[in-house]
Protein backbone atom coordinates (compact mmCIF):
# COMPACT_ATOMS: atom_id res chain seq x y z
CA UNK A 1 0.00 0.00 0.00
CA UNK A 2 1.53 3.29 -1.05
CA UNK A 3 0.92 5.99 1.49
CA UNK A 4 0.81 9.67 0.79
CA UNK A 5 0.43 11.54 4.02
CA UNK A 6 2.03 14.46 5.71
CA UNK A 7 2.15 16.63 8.86
CA UNK A 8 2.83 15.79 12.41
CA UNK A 9 0.72 16.10 15.58
CA UNK A 10 -1.34 13.04 14.87
CA UNK A 11 -3.53 12.13 17.81
CA UNK A 12 -4.35 8.65 16.77
CA UNK A 13 -2.98 6.21 14.23
CA UNK A 14 -5.18 6.19 11.23
CA UNK A 15 -7.81 8.24 12.98
CA UNK A 16 -8.81 10.98 10.57
CA UNK A 17 -8.87 8.74 7.54
CA UNK A 18 -10.71 5.89 9.17
CA UNK A 19 -13.22 8.17 10.83
CA UNK A 20 -13.84 10.08 7.64
CA UNK A 21 -14.78 6.77 6.09
CA UNK A 22 -17.04 5.55 8.83
CA UNK A 23 -18.71 8.67 10.16
CA UNK A 24 -21.17 8.82 7.33
CA UNK A 25 -24.22 10.64 8.51
CA UNK A 26 -26.47 9.69 5.70
CA UNK A 27 -26.64 5.93 5.69
CA UNK A 28 -30.31 5.94 6.51
CA UNK A 29 -31.47 6.06 2.88
CA UNK A 30 -29.38 2.96 2.32
CA UNK A 31 -31.18 1.04 5.00
CA UNK A 32 -34.56 1.92 3.57
CA UNK A 33 -33.45 0.46 0.25
CA UNK A 34 -33.89 -2.98 1.71
CA UNK A 35 -37.57 -2.37 2.25
CA UNK A 36 -38.23 -2.07 -1.48
CA UNK A 37 -40.13 -4.93 -3.11
CA UNK A 38 -37.67 -6.93 -5.17
CA UNK A 39 -38.07 -8.88 -8.37
CA UNK A 40 -38.71 -12.47 -7.60
CA UNK A 41 -40.63 -11.60 -4.47
CA UNK A 42 -42.19 -14.69 -3.04
CA UNK A 43 -38.91 -16.62 -2.90
CA UNK A 44 -36.36 -16.80 -0.13
CA UNK A 45 -32.97 -15.46 -1.08
CA UNK A 46 -29.41 -15.06 0.15
CA UNK A 47 -26.98 -12.48 -1.23
CA UNK A 48 -23.27 -12.56 -0.47
CA UNK A 49 -21.10 -9.63 -1.48
CA UNK A 50 -17.46 -8.73 -1.25
CA UNK A 51 -16.85 -5.00 -1.69
CA UNK A 52 -13.47 -3.39 -2.11
CA UNK A 53 -12.39 0.27 -2.00
CA UNK A 54 -8.92 1.62 -2.37
CA UNK A 55 -7.40 5.05 -2.58
CA UNK A 56 -3.96 6.43 -1.79
CA UNK A 57 -4.28 6.25 1.98
CA UNK A 58 -7.33 4.11 2.72
CA UNK A 59 -8.35 0.59 1.83
CA UNK A 60 -11.68 -0.95 2.76
CA UNK A 61 -12.69 -4.58 2.53
CA UNK A 62 -16.36 -5.15 3.17
CA UNK A 63 -17.86 -8.64 3.10
CA UNK A 64 -21.63 -8.72 3.59
CA UNK A 65 -24.29 -11.38 3.75
CA UNK A 66 -28.01 -10.79 3.48
CA UNK A 67 -30.81 -13.30 3.94
CA UNK A 68 -34.50 -12.76 3.32
CA UNK A 69 -37.33 -15.22 3.87
CA UNK A 70 -41.07 -15.05 3.40
CA UNK A 71 -43.14 -16.42 6.28
CA UNK A 72 -45.06 -17.88 4.58
CA UNK A 73 -45.40 -15.47 1.64
CA UNK A 74 -44.89 -11.82 0.73
CA UNK A 75 -47.51 -10.76 3.28
CA UNK A 76 -44.63 -10.95 5.75
CA UNK A 77 -40.96 -10.99 4.81
CA UNK A 78 -38.16 -11.05 7.35
CA UNK A 79 -34.59 -10.15 6.56
CA UNK A 80 -31.26 -9.85 8.28
CA UNK A 81 -27.85 -8.66 7.19
CA UNK A 82 -24.35 -8.61 8.56
CA UNK A 83 -21.68 -6.19 7.36
CA UNK A 84 -18.00 -6.21 8.27
CA UNK A 85 -15.84 -3.19 7.46
CA UNK A 86 -12.08 -3.72 7.60
CA UNK A 87 -10.57 -0.28 7.14
CA UNK A 88 -6.83 -0.02 6.66
CA UNK A 89 -5.44 3.48 6.83
CA UNK A 90 -2.20 5.25 7.47
CA UNK A 91 -0.85 6.93 10.54
CA UNK A 92 -0.05 10.60 10.19
CA UNK A 93 3.11 10.24 12.22
CA UNK A 94 5.08 11.99 9.55
CA UNK A 95 7.43 13.62 12.01
CA UNK A 96 8.81 10.27 12.95
CA UNK A 97 8.08 8.53 9.75
CA UNK A 98 11.52 8.77 8.21
CA UNK A 99 13.23 7.79 11.44
CA UNK A 100 11.01 4.82 12.08
CA UNK A 101 11.01 3.62 8.54
CA UNK A 102 7.93 5.23 7.10
CA UNK A 103 4.19 5.34 7.63
CA UNK A 104 2.45 2.44 9.27
CA UNK A 105 -0.82 0.88 8.26
CA UNK A 106 -3.49 0.22 10.85
CA UNK A 107 -6.55 -1.91 10.33
CA UNK A 108 -9.71 -1.45 12.32
CA UNK A 109 -12.96 -3.34 12.23
CA UNK A 110 -16.57 -2.27 12.25
CA UNK A 111 -19.44 -4.72 12.76
CA UNK A 112 -22.98 -4.02 11.65
CA UNK A 113 -26.13 -6.09 12.00
CA UNK A 114 -29.51 -5.28 10.56
CA UNK A 115 -32.96 -6.75 11.06
CA UNK A 116 -35.95 -5.83 8.93
CA UNK A 117 -39.54 -6.80 8.28
CA UNK A 118 -41.75 -5.88 5.35
CA UNK A 119 -45.24 -6.70 4.29
CA UNK A 120 -47.32 -6.52 1.11
CA UNK A 121 -51.00 -6.17 1.88
CA UNK A 122 -52.88 -5.61 -1.34
CA UNK A 123 -51.78 -2.27 -2.74
CA UNK A 124 -49.99 -1.32 0.44
CA UNK A 125 -46.41 -1.98 1.36
CA UNK A 126 -45.16 -1.56 4.92
CA UNK A 127 -41.70 -2.00 6.35
CA UNK A 128 -39.44 -1.38 9.29
CA UNK A 129 -35.83 -1.99 10.31
CA UNK A 130 -33.36 -1.71 13.16
CA UNK A 131 -29.62 -1.47 12.70
CA UNK A 132 -26.73 -1.60 15.16
CA UNK A 133 -23.13 -0.76 14.33
CA UNK A 134 -20.14 -0.83 16.63
CA UNK A 135 -16.45 -0.06 16.46
CA UNK A 136 -13.76 1.10 18.84
CA UNK A 137 -14.90 4.68 19.29
CA UNK A 138 -18.30 4.89 17.65
CA UNK A 139 -21.66 3.24 18.27
CA UNK A 140 -24.53 3.79 15.91
CA UNK A 141 -28.18 2.72 16.07
CA UNK A 142 -30.89 3.34 13.51
CA UNK A 143 -34.57 2.56 13.26
CA UNK A 144 -37.01 3.37 10.51
CA UNK A 145 -40.34 2.68 8.92
CA UNK A 146 -41.79 3.09 5.45
CA UNK A 147 -45.16 2.87 3.75
CA UNK A 148 -45.98 2.71 0.07
CA UNK A 149 -49.21 2.68 -1.90
CA UNK A 150 -49.73 1.33 -5.43
CA UNK A 151 -52.19 3.17 -7.64
CA UNK A 152 -53.45 3.03 -11.23
CA UNK A 153 -53.38 -0.77 -11.44
CA UNK A 154 -49.94 -0.70 -9.80
CA UNK A 155 -48.53 1.61 -12.48
CA UNK A 156 -47.80 4.26 -9.87
CA UNK A 157 -46.20 3.86 -6.46
CA UNK A 158 -45.98 6.61 -3.87
CA UNK A 159 -43.95 6.12 -0.72
CA UNK A 160 -43.08 7.83 2.50
CA UNK A 161 -40.31 6.86 4.89
CA UNK A 162 -38.88 8.06 8.17
CA UNK A 163 -35.73 6.96 9.92
CA UNK A 164 -33.94 8.01 13.09
CA UNK A 165 -30.27 7.57 13.79
CA UNK A 166 -28.77 7.94 17.26
CA UNK A 167 -25.04 7.59 17.67
CA UNK A 168 -22.52 7.92 20.47
CA UNK A 169 -19.25 9.51 19.38
CA UNK A 170 -15.99 8.99 21.23
CA UNK A 171 -12.34 9.79 20.87
CA UNK A 172 -9.37 7.63 21.78
CA UNK A 173 -6.59 9.48 23.56
CA UNK A 174 -3.16 8.95 22.13
CA UNK A 175 -0.77 6.89 24.25
CA UNK A 176 -3.26 6.06 27.01
CA UNK A 177 -5.81 4.59 24.55
CA UNK A 178 -8.55 5.79 26.91
CA UNK A 179 -11.90 6.25 25.19
CA UNK A 180 -13.51 9.60 26.02
CA UNK A 181 -16.82 11.01 24.80
CA UNK A 182 -16.57 13.58 22.00
CA UNK A 183 -19.12 16.42 21.88
CA UNK A 184 -17.60 18.36 19.01
CA UNK A 185 -14.68 20.73 18.72
CA UNK A 186 -16.59 23.62 20.29
CA UNK A 187 -17.15 21.75 23.57
CA UNK A 188 -14.42 21.26 26.15
CA UNK A 189 -13.74 17.52 26.19
CA UNK A 190 -13.57 17.62 29.98
CA UNK A 191 -17.21 18.75 30.10
CA UNK A 192 -18.49 16.24 27.57
CA UNK A 193 -20.91 13.62 28.91
CA UNK A 194 -21.32 10.09 27.49
CA UNK A 195 -25.02 9.92 28.39
CA UNK A 196 -28.13 12.05 28.00
CA UNK A 197 -28.83 14.50 25.23
CA UNK A 198 -27.98 18.11 24.48
CA UNK A 199 -24.98 20.19 23.47
CA UNK A 200 -22.64 18.79 26.11
CA UNK A 201 -23.24 15.14 25.29
CA UNK A 202 -21.75 12.93 22.62
CA UNK A 203 -25.15 12.09 21.13
CA UNK A 204 -25.44 12.57 17.39
CA UNK A 205 -28.97 12.32 16.01
CA UNK A 206 -30.23 12.23 12.43
CA UNK A 207 -33.88 12.58 11.47
CA UNK A 208 -34.49 11.49 7.89
CA UNK A 209 -37.67 11.79 5.83
CA UNK A 210 -38.17 10.82 2.22
CA UNK A 211 -41.00 10.86 -0.28
CA UNK A 212 -40.80 8.74 -3.41
CA UNK A 213 -42.56 8.51 -6.74
CA UNK A 214 -42.23 5.69 -9.28
CA UNK A 215 -44.48 5.62 -12.31
CA UNK A 216 -44.65 3.39 -15.37
CA UNK A 217 -45.24 6.06 -18.00
CA UNK A 218 -45.24 3.53 -20.80
CA UNK A 219 -44.73 -0.20 -21.16
CA UNK A 220 -41.02 0.50 -21.78
CA UNK A 221 -40.53 3.65 -19.69
CA UNK A 222 -40.32 4.05 -15.92
CA UNK A 223 -40.01 7.45 -14.22
CA UNK A 224 -38.57 7.94 -10.72
CA UNK A 225 -38.33 10.91 -8.38
CA UNK A 226 -37.67 11.50 -4.72
CA UNK A 227 -37.32 14.22 -2.13
CA UNK A 228 -35.17 13.56 0.92
CA UNK A 229 -34.56 15.73 3.96
CA UNK A 230 -32.09 15.03 6.76
CA UNK A 231 -31.62 16.99 9.96
CA UNK A 232 -28.50 16.23 11.99
CA UNK A 233 -27.91 17.34 15.57
CA UNK A 234 -24.76 16.80 17.60
CA UNK A 235 -21.02 16.51 16.94
CA UNK A 236 -20.21 16.39 13.24
CA UNK A 237 -16.50 17.14 13.23
CA UNK A 238 -13.65 14.69 13.35
CA UNK A 239 -11.94 14.42 16.76
CA UNK A 240 -8.63 13.46 15.16
CA UNK A 241 -8.35 15.92 12.29
CA UNK A 242 -7.28 19.00 14.24
CA UNK A 243 -3.65 18.20 13.53
CA UNK A 244 -4.23 19.18 9.92
CA UNK A 245 -5.48 22.71 10.72
CA UNK A 246 -2.69 25.25 11.45
CA UNK A 247 -5.15 27.86 12.75
CA UNK A 248 -7.00 25.67 15.24
CA UNK A 249 -6.25 22.92 17.71
CA UNK A 250 -9.37 21.00 16.74
CA UNK A 251 -11.80 20.74 13.89
CA UNK A 252 -14.99 22.68 14.73
CA UNK A 253 -18.17 22.17 12.75
CA UNK A 254 -21.65 23.46 13.64
CA UNK A 255 -23.76 21.17 15.79
CA UNK A 256 -26.77 21.33 13.45
CA UNK A 257 -27.16 20.64 9.78
CA UNK A 258 -30.14 20.37 7.45
CA UNK A 259 -29.78 18.74 4.05
CA UNK A 260 -32.18 18.36 1.14
CA UNK A 261 -31.79 16.07 -1.87
CA UNK A 262 -33.93 16.12 -5.01
CA UNK A 263 -33.54 13.19 -7.39
CA UNK A 264 -35.04 12.36 -10.76
CA UNK A 265 -34.43 9.52 -13.15
CA UNK A 266 -35.86 7.15 -15.70
CA UNK A 267 -35.36 3.70 -17.20
CA UNK A 268 -36.22 3.33 -20.84
CA UNK A 269 -35.99 0.11 -22.81
CA UNK A 270 -35.35 0.97 -26.45
CA UNK A 271 -38.09 -0.86 -28.40
CA UNK A 272 -37.03 -4.05 -30.17
CA UNK A 273 -33.57 -3.90 -28.65
CA UNK A 274 -31.81 -5.39 -25.62
CA UNK A 275 -30.74 -1.93 -24.43
CA UNK A 276 -32.02 0.01 -21.41
CA UNK A 277 -30.99 3.61 -20.83
CA UNK A 278 -30.97 4.90 -17.28
CA UNK A 279 -30.26 8.60 -16.70
CA UNK A 280 -30.29 10.02 -13.16
CA UNK A 281 -29.78 13.47 -11.73
CA UNK A 282 -29.50 14.50 -8.10
CA UNK A 283 -29.27 17.98 -6.61
CA UNK A 284 -28.49 18.59 -2.95
CA UNK A 285 -28.32 21.72 -0.87
CA UNK A 286 -27.80 22.23 2.83
CA UNK A 287 -27.61 24.75 5.63
CA UNK A 288 -23.82 24.75 5.45
CA UNK A 289 -24.21 26.34 1.98
CA UNK A 290 -22.90 23.31 0.09
CA UNK A 291 -24.63 22.58 -3.19
CA UNK A 292 -23.94 19.46 -5.21
CA UNK A 293 -24.90 18.08 -8.59
CA UNK A 294 -24.58 14.44 -9.59
CA UNK A 295 -25.33 13.06 -13.05
CA UNK A 296 -25.31 9.28 -13.21
CA UNK A 297 -25.94 7.68 -16.59
CA UNK A 298 -26.12 3.93 -17.11
CA UNK A 299 -26.59 1.77 -20.18
CA UNK A 300 -27.80 -1.80 -19.62
CA UNK A 301 -27.39 -4.34 -22.43
CA UNK A 302 -28.66 -7.91 -22.39
CA UNK A 303 -25.86 -9.32 -24.52
CA UNK A 304 -27.04 -12.94 -24.23
CA UNK A 305 -30.24 -14.43 -22.81
CA UNK A 306 -28.56 -14.89 -19.41
CA UNK A 307 -25.81 -12.28 -19.58
CA UNK A 308 -26.29 -8.61 -18.74
CA UNK A 309 -23.69 -5.89 -19.19
CA UNK A 310 -23.78 -2.37 -17.84
CA UNK A 311 -21.66 0.70 -18.50
CA UNK A 312 -21.79 3.67 -16.17
CA UNK A 313 -20.54 7.22 -16.05
CA UNK A 314 -21.06 9.53 -13.07
CA UNK A 315 -20.11 13.19 -12.76
CA UNK A 316 -20.18 14.85 -9.35
CA UNK A 317 -19.51 18.45 -8.38
CA UNK A 318 -19.93 20.30 -5.12
CA UNK A 319 -19.32 23.82 -3.83
CA UNK A 320 -17.47 24.69 -0.63
CA UNK A 321 -19.11 25.10 2.76
CA UNK A 322 -19.64 28.42 4.52
CA UNK A 323 -16.55 27.71 6.64
CA UNK A 324 -14.44 28.42 3.59
CA UNK A 325 -16.20 31.62 2.48
CA UNK A 326 -13.96 33.86 4.58
CA UNK A 327 -10.90 32.49 2.83
CA UNK A 328 -12.03 31.91 -0.75
CA UNK A 329 -8.50 31.08 -1.82
CA UNK A 330 -8.72 27.92 0.26
CA UNK A 331 -12.11 26.64 -0.78
CA UNK A 332 -10.94 24.78 -3.85
CA UNK A 333 -9.53 21.44 -2.85
CA UNK A 334 -7.05 20.91 -5.65
CA UNK A 335 -5.52 17.76 -4.26
CA UNK A 336 -2.94 19.36 -1.97
CA UNK A 337 -3.38 20.13 1.71
CA UNK A 338 -6.83 21.48 2.52
CA UNK A 339 -8.19 23.42 5.45
CA UNK A 340 -10.39 26.47 6.03
CA UNK A 341 -11.62 28.49 8.98
CA UNK A 342 -13.95 31.38 9.59
CA UNK A 343 -12.41 34.77 10.26
CA UNK A 344 -13.21 34.76 13.95
CA UNK A 345 -12.13 31.15 14.35
CA UNK A 346 -15.59 30.00 15.34
CA UNK A 347 -15.43 27.12 12.86
CA UNK A 348 -12.51 25.30 11.27
CA UNK A 349 -12.26 22.26 9.06
CA UNK A 350 -9.81 20.05 7.23
CA UNK A 351 -12.54 17.82 5.84
CA UNK A 352 -12.20 17.49 2.07
CA UNK A 353 -15.95 16.92 1.93
CA UNK A 354 -16.42 20.59 2.87
CA UNK A 355 -14.32 21.98 0.04
CA UNK A 356 -15.13 22.56 -3.62
CA UNK A 357 -14.18 19.68 -5.86
CA UNK A 358 -15.45 17.32 -8.54
CA UNK A 359 -15.11 13.73 -9.70
CA UNK A 360 -15.63 11.53 -12.74
CA UNK A 361 -16.57 7.87 -12.30
CA UNK A 362 -16.67 5.41 -15.19
CA UNK A 363 -17.64 1.85 -14.40
CA UNK A 364 -18.67 -1.51 -15.81
CA UNK A 365 -20.73 -4.42 -14.52
CA UNK A 366 -21.32 -7.98 -15.68
CA UNK A 367 -24.22 -10.10 -14.40
CA UNK A 368 -24.56 -13.77 -15.25
CA UNK A 369 -27.94 -15.28 -14.49
CA UNK A 370 -27.49 -18.86 -13.28
CA UNK A 371 -30.72 -20.01 -14.88
CA UNK A 372 -28.45 -20.85 -17.78
CA UNK A 373 -27.00 -23.70 -15.69
CA UNK A 374 -30.11 -24.72 -13.79
CA UNK A 375 -31.20 -27.08 -16.54
CA UNK A 376 -28.12 -29.24 -15.99
CA UNK A 377 -28.63 -32.32 -13.84
CA UNK A 378 -27.91 -31.70 -10.14
CA UNK A 379 -27.69 -27.93 -10.73
CA UNK A 380 -31.36 -27.09 -10.50
CA UNK A 381 -30.66 -25.31 -7.20
CA UNK A 382 -29.05 -22.52 -9.22
CA UNK A 383 -32.39 -21.43 -10.65
CA UNK A 384 -32.97 -17.68 -10.17
CA UNK A 385 -29.43 -17.24 -8.89
CA UNK A 386 -26.92 -14.78 -10.30
CA UNK A 387 -23.28 -13.76 -10.15
CA UNK A 388 -22.29 -10.11 -10.44
CA UNK A 389 -18.93 -8.38 -10.93
CA UNK A 390 -18.59 -4.59 -10.77
CA UNK A 391 -15.69 -2.17 -11.18
CA UNK A 392 -15.73 1.63 -10.90
CA UNK A 393 -12.79 4.01 -11.09
CA UNK A 394 -13.18 7.39 -9.40
CA UNK A 395 -11.10 10.33 -10.66
CA UNK A 396 -11.30 12.82 -7.77
CA UNK A 397 -9.86 16.33 -7.81
CA UNK A 398 -9.42 16.53 -4.03
CA UNK A 399 -6.67 15.19 -1.83
CA UNK A 400 -8.29 11.78 -1.40
CA UNK A 401 -6.97 11.10 -4.88
CA UNK A 402 -8.28 8.58 -7.36
CA UNK A 403 -10.08 5.53 -6.05
CA UNK A 404 -10.95 2.04 -7.22
CA UNK A 405 -14.20 0.31 -6.30
CA UNK A 406 -14.72 -3.34 -6.97
CA UNK A 407 -17.39 -5.81 -5.96
CA UNK A 408 -18.15 -9.48 -6.44
CA UNK A 409 -21.55 -10.81 -5.49
CA UNK A 410 -23.66 -13.90 -5.88
CA UNK A 411 -27.19 -14.71 -4.94
CA UNK A 412 -29.21 -17.88 -4.60
CA UNK A 413 -32.92 -18.42 -4.22
CA UNK A 414 -34.02 -21.20 -1.90
Partner 1 sequence: MPEPNVWCTAPVTRLRIVVLGGSVGMALLTGCVTVSPAERQQLSKPEMTPATDASEEVWHTHVEAAREAGFGGHGAAGGGCGCG
- In the window 344-383, what residues touch partner 1 (CB under 8 A)? 346-347, 352-354, 365, 367, 369
How many helices (H) does the chain have, and how many strands (E)? Answer: 4, 19
For partner 1, the closer of residues 7 and 293 by Cβ is 293
The answer to whether 38 contacts partner 1 (rule: CB under 8 A) is yes
Question: Residue 373 is inside which H or E element, if any?
Answer: helix 371-374
For partner 1, the closer of residues 95 and 211 by Cβ is 211
For partner 1, the closer of residues 75 and 95 by Cβ is 75
The answer to whether 333 contacts partner 1 (rule: CB under 8 A) is no
Question: Residue 229 is inside which H or E element, if any?
Answer: strand 221-233
Cα three-residue angle 49-50-56, rounded to 5 degrees: 145
At a CB cut-off of 8 Å and minimum separation 6, what does 348 contact? 185, 245, 247, 248, 250, 251, 252, 323, 339, 340, 341, 342
For partner 1, the closer of residues 151 and 379 by Cβ is 151
**Dihedral (Cα; 21, 142, 35, 301), 10-degree rounding:** 0
Measured CA to CA in angstroms, residue 41 lies from 76, 120, 124, 167 at distances of 11, 10, 15, 33
CB of 380 to partner 1, least distance (A): 20
Number of residues lying near partner 1 (CB under 8 A): 109
By CB under 8 A, what part of segment 288-307 binds partner 1? Answer: 288-290, 292, 294, 300, 302
3-state secondary structure of 47: strand
The answer to whether 131 contacts partner 1 (rule: CB under 8 A) is no
For partner 1, the closer of residues 166 and 213 by Cβ is 213
Cα three-residue angle 133-137-140, rounded to 5 degrees: 25
The answer to whether 136 contacts partner 1 (rule: CB under 8 A) is no
Binder among 154, 188, 190, 195 for partner 1 (CB under 8 A): 154
For partner 1, the closer of residues 92 and 255 by Cβ is 255
Calpha distance 322→349 (Å, rounded): 11
Q: Which DSSP string corresponds to 5-41?
A: ---S--SSTTHHHHHHHH--TT-HHHHHHTTS--TTT
CB of 151 to partner 1, least distance (A): 9
CB of 191 to partner 1, least distance (A): 15
Q: Which stretch binds partner 1 (CB under 8 A): 5-13, 169-177, 241-249, 264-272?
A: 264-272
The answer to whether 408 contacts partner 1 (rule: CB under 8 A) is no
The answer to whether 95 contacts partner 1 (rule: CB under 8 A) is no
Interface mask toward partner 1 for 198-217; x: CB under 8 A: ------------xxxxxxxx
Q: Which stretch binds partner 1 (CB under 8 A): 93-101, 242-250, 279-287, 326-334?
A: 279-287
Calpha distance 373→371 (Å, rounded): 5
Amino acid sequence: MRLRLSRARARRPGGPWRRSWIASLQLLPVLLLWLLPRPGAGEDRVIVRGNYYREASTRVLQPTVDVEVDVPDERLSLGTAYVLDAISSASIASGAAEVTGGDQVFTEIRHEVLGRASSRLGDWGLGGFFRYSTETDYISRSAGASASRDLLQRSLTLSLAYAYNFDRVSRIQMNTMVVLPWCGGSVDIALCQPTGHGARTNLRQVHYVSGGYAHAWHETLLGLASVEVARTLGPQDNPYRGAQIPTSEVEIHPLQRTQVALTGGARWMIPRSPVVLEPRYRFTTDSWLIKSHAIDTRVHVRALPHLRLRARYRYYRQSASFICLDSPGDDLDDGSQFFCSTTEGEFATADPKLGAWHSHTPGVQVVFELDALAGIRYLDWLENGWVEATYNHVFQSNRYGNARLGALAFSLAF
